[in-house]
Structure 1
Amino acid sequence: MEKSIVRLLITFRVTKPIIIPPFSAKVSKLILHRISNQYVKISQTNRLFKPISVSPIYLDDKPLLKFSDESTILHLQPERLYSFTCSMIVDEDLPIHEVVSLERSEVEEVFGAKALLEQVKIDIRNFSSLGFGRPKGIRMDFKSPVLLQLPSFRRFKRGRYVLFPIPSLIIGSLVDHWNANCDPKMLIKRPAFLSMYANYLMMESAYNLKPVTIVYDEKKKIRGFMGWVFYDLRKCRNNLSFKRVMALLDYAQYVGVGKSRATGFGQVKVSCTY
């Protein structure tokens, strides 16, 4: 059965001032639990590369996060408008009311207040429609902390995290997620080759990146990177591999990159220069 990628952009306000957790994606997940049967079903599964991605809460396109060197407490105010996104990979024939229920515009008990849904935008894509044509350059904006990990190696039981968007790690994380969730006919063969190919195709020409440590909860702090990078795309003769990399970078806008995408990490925006 064909698979579709459904992306929700939810805009809301709260009925009174509230304090929220230091990692605001927990608010996004709470609202989704109340309005999406499919989100509840997917989030309860225990599998690698879950077919779901959730963003933190945004205020004026800025994610609400608490960094380790800050003492501020995150608040939501009733006079302000907030938003977040959620992407789910579902069967093409799944009724839209299973993805999101629009029967009620109020969500009860969101950290002591009601969330009033102002707008729900729905974007649906098929895997076969993903891609960017033949741009000359790609800019990736990392909107929430990215957790890129090298694979385990010999005596090292766990891979280490990398604080720079190395193309092979970006594409490798996307191939793994793609192959775990796409239709069988859309499987990408030779993923290791495509990841290595990306290192030669995507050449960093400018960047503004910053290592960040964010507070996830009272006990856990997580380190990643945020910012942006611009890649010049080198001319190549392998058109099929080029198209696959472009499809994966488009896919990244829906599912994110790196680890823990279902909990708010690795959210990206991709733009092209032609």
Structure 2
Amino acid sequence: MSALVLSNFTGSIAMSMTLNILGRVDDELARSLHELRVPKPISVTPFAYGDDVLWGRRRIIAPGEVVRFRVSALDRVGSRLVEAFSNLRVVRLFNVDVVFDPVSVEVFDIDGFFNAGPGEFVLEFLSPVRFARRRTMRRRRVKYDFCPSMENIVRSGVVYWNRVVGDSRFKNWVRFLRWVYNYVYVSDFYGRVVSTRLPNSSQPQLGFIGRVRFEIKSKSESRIAQLWGLLRFVELMNVGTTRSLGFGYVRIKTDTHKPSPQ
């Protein structure tokens, strides 16, 4: 048996594997998702080895050791993925035969996301997150903002929601964003901007890694429920630019202890 060598950002490997597996039962759907140039109704996380999310360092996975990743998909894409995963046991990855073992399948009703949560919470950014800035002049390259502010998170989440879900919950999202700006505060912050690379690319990919503690200073139950619904959706589908490949992988923690440096 051979060891598996993983390096740089492994989310793109997870997506490639997922689409290859999907293509075994629905090649047309897999191709359309690969070629889609607008937000995709599917996302993955980078590989995780133990408690480490593999977004940058080189890691050698010995025979018998386990790496895991999560796939999140909406509507028909999700049902086709379940079908594809259920009929597969071994995949080929970098000329190594890898045992593929789906651990669990969870089905969520998005309507159930929109319940008010606590007024204090922590967002852990487990893979680099960055937010593309809109152009006000002609420029060739994308310009990124690496600040994990709630305004950036909400703007990114709402735009994605409106494009892939498309209901009316965030139709008047400018007023919602104004409420976020005035009533959601940062009370603690720890992290840094890191650099990684996508496979077959020499271009550095920057993003924020760390933890941010937020407090909601509002009594509007409807707005708080709206915010929590979006945050739960973001936790499921990632946030920011290149979310489908595993950038912007976040976890919500609702304990009351302040995050400590790591």
Shorter-chain TM band: 0.7 to 0.9
Counterparts in 2 of 1:207 and 1:90: CA distance versus 1, 3 Å = same
Q: Is the 8 A contact 1:203 1:231 kept in 2?
A: yes
2:91 is aligned with 1:101:
no
SS for the counterpart of 2:85 is: coil
* Code of the aligned partner of 1:236: K
Counterparts in 2 of 1:151 and 1:23: CA distance versus 1, 3 Å = same
The partner residue of 1:171 within 133, 154, 172 is 154
Pairwise CA distance, 1:194: 1.6
The partner residue of 2:241 within 236, 256, 259 is 259
User: 2:212 corresponds to which residue?
Assistant: 229
The partner residue of 1:194 within 166, 170, 176 is 176
SS for the counterpart of 2:106 is: strand
The partner residue of 2:163 within 161, 164, 180 is 180
Percent of residue pairs bearing the same amino acid type = 19
Counterparts in 2 of 1:193 and 1:140: CA distance versus 1, 3 Å = same
Q: How many residues align?
A: 251
* Code of the aligned partner of 1:59: Y
**CA–CA distance in structure 2, aligned partners of residues 158 and 144 of structure 1:** 22
2:67 is aligned with 1:82:
yes
Over residues 135-177 of structure 1, what are the superposed CA-to-partner deviations in whole Å (9 max), with x where a residue is unaligned? 1212101010001233223577776322221111100100011
User: 2:124 corresponds to which residue?
Assistant: 141
User: 2:231 corresponds to which residue?
Assistant: 249
Question: What's the TM-score, normalizing by structure 2?
Answer: 0.85
User: 1:6 corresponds to which residue?
Assistant: none
SS for the counterpart of 2:239 is: coil
Q: 5+ residue gaps in structure 2?
A: 257-262
Over residues 178-218 of structure 1, what are the superposed CA-to-partner deviations in whole Å (9 max), with x where a residue is unaligned? 1112153x441112222232122321111211111112244
User: Which consecutive segments of 4 or more residues in structure 1 shift more than 4 A?
Assistant: 94-99, 154-159
Q: Is the 8 A contact 1:213 1:222 kept in 2?
A: yes
Which one has the bigger helix percentage?
A: 2
The partner residue of 2:196 within 202, 205, 214 is 214
* Code of the aligned partner of 1:135: P
Bigger drift between 36-45 and 21-30 goes to 36-45
Q: Is the 8 A contact 1:169 1:195 kept in 2?
A: no
**CA–CA distance in structure 2, aligned partners of residues 220 and 158 of structure 1:** 12
User: 1:268 corresponds to which residue?
Assistant: 250
Counterparts in 2 of 1:136 and 1:42: CA distance versus 1, 3 Å = farther
Report the RMSD for the aligned CA atoms in angstroms. 2.5
Q: 5+ residue gaps in structure 1?
A: 1-14, 68-72
Pairwise CA distance, 1:250: 0.5
Q: Is the 8 A contact 1:214 1:222 kept in 2?
A: yes
* Code of the aligned partner of 1:23: F
Counterparts in 2 of 1:198 and 1:210: CA distance versus 1, 3 Å = same
